[in-house]
Amino acid sequence: MKESPGEFEQIVMLAILRLGQDAYGASIRAEIETCTGRDPTPGALYTTLDRLERKAMLSSRLADPTAERGGRAKRFFKVTKTGSEALTEAQRSYQRLLEGLNLLGGSHA
């Protein structure tokens, strides 16, 4: 059985997918806060990003360093095929669990 991403890992991957090519630490945090109201600490976010990369669910690349960042480069993230497949299966599992329940004012089918 493939490893299923946890809730926060799924949130991070969904934020990355929403951001496309603009997915780096600060933009991912902002997207998570905008969409969920959660404000993850940088430590929690980067620990999760590193873990997802170790699991081959994300890949990253460094952009050119910039003066406004003190010579540091932004690290951009992308969901891999493995990550996309794991995320899709996790979401399908949630949907199966919701089937027939009357949540959020309606029945889920």
Q: Domain map of the chain by residue range?
A: 7-107
Q: What pLDDT, on a 0 to 100 scale, did the predictor assign at position 66?
A: 74
Per-residue pLDDT in tens (0 to 9) along the chain, 109 residues: 578 899 999 999 999 999 999 999 999 999 999 999 999 999 999 999 999 999 999 999 998 877 776 778 899 999 999 999 999 999 999 899 988 888 766 555 5
Question: Which residue, among 72, 73, 61, 58, has the nearest Cα to 15 in the 3D structure?
Answer: 58
- Output the DSSP codes for 35-102: HHS----HHHHHHHHHHHHHTTSEEEEE----GGGTTPPPEEEEE-HHHHHHHHHHHHHHHHHHTT-E
Q: What pLDDT, on a 0 to 100 scale, did the predictor assign at position 71?
A: 74
Q: What pLDDT, on a 0 to 100 scale, did the predictor assign at position 107?
A: 55
Question: Which numeric CATH code is attached to 7-107?
Answer: 1.10.10.10
